[in-house]
Amino acid sequence: MVTIKDIAKNLGVSYSTVSRCLNDSPSVSEKTKKKVQEEALRLGFHFNVNARNLVKQETNTIGVIFSDNFNDRDMRKFFGDIMESSINAIEFNKYDFIIQPNHNIRGNSNIYKMVNGRMVDGLVIVSRSITKEEYDFLINSKIPHVFIYFKPLFIEGEMDNFFWDDNEYGGYIATKYLINHGHKKILTITSDDDSLTMYKDRTKGYLNAINEANLIPDIIRVRMDFDSQIELVKNNIDKIKNSTAIFVQQDTPAISIIQELKTVYNIEIPKDISIVGYNNIELISYFKTDLTTVDDPREEVIKNGIDVLVNKINKKEDKHIIRKLYPRIIKRSSVRII
């Protein structure tokens, strides 16, 4: 088996120099590091990361905790995007990752398991179901952790380790955009799950803009998936025809509604009715809907949260990293001026 001694002997340098190079120490020049790493690769040397981390009491791993309902139909796309962005941000920071639901199938907390088992150096928590006991455990264990998108329900006020984008503002600018284009009969379609705070906040923003303009609100609550919109359109076609615009609080159901209105009811967007969506997903271009939508800065929110977590793990300053971000309107051609 190839050892550090073999590399040192071949290059004519000390064992400690090879060790510092393989540990990416700033005390060694980049030229020397490159030479050592190339020789290690040539010899097939594998650095024993686990042994190093055991000595340093580090795992070089970040745990990601998702809500127990992460695979539910309404939430699958959201958590899928979170997972992809989390992996990218974690690997960019040169950490490994473990992704688990808040609780396993027996109801046991994976937060306890990861921390007590010293499996991770820090935790990213994207869960609306964290308990007070789990939260107190995190505080007492002193393990670095951040919350993304879901603040614990029992916490009031600001949190320095909470990262999110303002859904209420997003709902407001979507509705205001329609109002500024002359629309007065604006229907919004939101989730029928009252526990999903992002939709509640988007509805608040909608109501703020509607009330500000002295208009009458009109709200339909439904499952926010693709298939449910067929029944929604069928059961509410008169209400839809009576509206000049719809703010659909997620792009996937917005695309479904556009397709259903066009193919079944011969209603054209934006000629007959205007539509604004939310999330700016890739399917918009796939379906060629030209959907005007709200672009939430999800990837940046996650990156900021993980960057702060890494700084906390390494005891570095993080006050310059933004905790709260704001969405913006992406203007396409699904809204007309009336």
State how far the Cα of 316 lies from the Cα of 93, in Å rounded to an integer: 14
State how far the Cα of 303 lies from the Cα of 125, in Å rounded to an integer: 13
Could you tell me which residue, 298 or 69, shows the higher pLDDT? 298
User: What is the set of domains in the chain, with CATH numbers?
Assistant: 4-47 (1.10.260.40), 61-165+301-324 (3.40.50.2300), 167-296 (3.40.50.2300)
Q: Looking at residue 45, what is its pLDDT?
A: 73
Could you tell me which residue, 47 or 20, shows the higher pLDDT? 20
Could you tell me which residue, 2 or 84, shows the higher pLDDT? 84
Is residue 57 pLDDT above 80, yes or no?
A: no
What's the rounded mean pLDDT across residues 184-201? 93
Q: In which order are the strands placed within the sheet that holds 162-165?
A: 96-101, 61-66, 122-126, 145-148, 162-165, 324-325
Average predicted confidence (pLDDT) for the chain: 91
Give me the percent of the chain exceeding a pLDDT of 90.
69
Q: Looking at residue 54, what is its pLDDT?
A: 47
47 falls in which pLDDT band (50, 70, 90)? low
What's the rounded mean pLDDT across residues 183-196? 93
44 falls in which pLDDT band (50, 70, 90)? confident
Is residue 49 pLDDT above 60, yes or no?
A: no
Q: Looking at residue 74, what is its pLDDT?
A: 64
Give the pTM.
Answer: 0.78
From the list 289, 271, 272, the residue with the least C-alpha distance to 281 is 289
CA distances (Å), origin 290, targets 173, 219, 263, 285: 18, 24, 17, 7
What's the rounded mean pLDDT across residues 195-213? 95
Which of 33-42, 49-58, 136-145, 166-175 has the least mean pLDDT? Answer: 49-58
Q: pLDDT tens for residues 224-264? A: 989 999 999 999 999 999 999 999 999 999 999 999 999 99
